[in-house]
Amino acid sequence: MLKAVIVDASALSRGLLNTVLTDGGYDVVGQSHTSSQGFALLQKYQPQLFCIALEQMEDGSGVVEQIRAQYPKTLVFMLSGALDAATLQAALARGVNGFIVKPFRADAVLKTIRATVLALVKRQQAQS
């Protein structure tokens, strides 16, 4: 079972995503409203998935860059209600692996995660 950490300032969003992930077979090992606490949870539990809201990514902490440097195999998913091309490109350049759109639709969230994991596995297999 893949482990996940959720970072979002909205307790409602964290709760909804927690339910979607748990019902989808993921183990949510931690939740936080700040990027620094989220990173501490990442260090403690070393989850495969790190779901972080756009606002927490842009708080100046450089959390995505820290994750890329220290935990390169962790998949980072950005959570946002509005995804424009510039935001998507900037997030990809920082190392985000996938995007989860708010409001959360369970089927879309799970499909996004599954597709990202499968693409990563295929890339790794092609390299070896």
What was the pLDDT predicted at 74? 96
Mind listing the domains of the chain with CATH numbers?
3-127 (3.40.50.2300)
What was the pLDDT predicted at 82? 83
pTM given for the model:
0.95
β-partners of residue 52 are 7, 78
Beta-strand runs (E) in 57-112: 75-80, 98-101
β-partners of residue 53 are 79
Q: Consecutive sets of 10 residues in the chain, 128 residues long: mean pLDDT of each? A: 96 97 98 97 98 93 95 96 89 94 95 94 87
What was the pLDDT predicted at 76? 97
> 73's torsion region: left (phi>0), alpha (psi -120 to 50) or beta?
alpha
What was the pLDDT predicted at 83? 81
Please list, residue by residue across 44-80, b when 16 or more beta carbons sit within 10 angstroms of its beta carbon and e when fewer do: eeebbbbbbbbebbeeeeebbebbeeebeebbbbbbb
Q: Residue 6: CB partners within 8 Å, gap ≥ 6?
A: 14, 17, 18, 21, 28, 30, 31, 32, 38, 51, 52
What was the pLDDT predicted at 40? 97
